[in-house]
Amino acid sequence: MSVPTAQSRRVDYSESTRQALVDSAVELFTKRGYAATSLDAIAKRARVTKGALYHHFSGKQALFEAAFDAVEKVVLARLGEVVAGPGTAWERAMSGLHAYIKVCLEPSYQRIAIHEGPVVMGWERWREAEEQYSFGLVRAAVESLVAAGEIEDLPVEVTARILFGALSTGATIIAGAADPKKAGAEVATTITRVLEGMRKRPAQEPDPEPAPSRRFRR
């Protein structure tokens, strides 16, 4: 068993300090929003000095992006387990859709990833980050559905991007709704209908030929 060195202890302390700051930022940005959250408040809640905060982050926006990454990584891990779980490709896709709708109802995801992300990070940077975390799962689900013959043999990239856009729009609708649960149910129903429209229909067997008529002679 190796004995921790002074250097390894410093690394562990540095990592734990950074994690404490990110956890603090996630909680305060969720409760108060970006504009109303100060770096002093984040450092105080994490029980570190402001100097330690600046050792890890260049400023408030850098800390927000770290909080955004933390929220997205948790969501990615959860959805990844669902999409790779048991069942048919169709069942996994439906489970993934409903799991994503539940995520969109969570305060941290709503506030940090949907409401604040585009404003703080800028639209282009936010879209790039969203694709980095979410698009791969959508594309993998579409590939599985096509490979399993569940949906028509459509272009995977185009289909995945259209569905990704629908999911992103759905998340925005849910986050801005007066009744998020109702909006979530409506988004889930609508996207399910879209996917059902892509499903392959079972091949119909040809109608049997009519039996030849018999003519009776008197």
- Cα–Cα distance measured from residue 65 to residue 25, given in angstroms and rounded to the nearest whole number: 10
* CATH number listed for the domain at residues 61-198: 1.10.357.10
- pLDDT at position 8 is 57
Q: From the centroid of its chain, how far is CA 33? A: 21
Residue ranges covered by each domain of the chain: 61-198
What averages of pLDDT result for each successive group of 10 residues across the chain (218 residues)? 57 84 98 97 96 95 97 95 93 96 96 95 92 92 95 95 95 96 97 95 59 51
- Cα–Cα distance measured from residue 18 to residue 63, given in angstroms and rounded to the nearest whole number: 10
Bridge partner list, 211: none
- pLDDT at position 218 is 46
State whether residue 214 is helix, strand or coil: coil
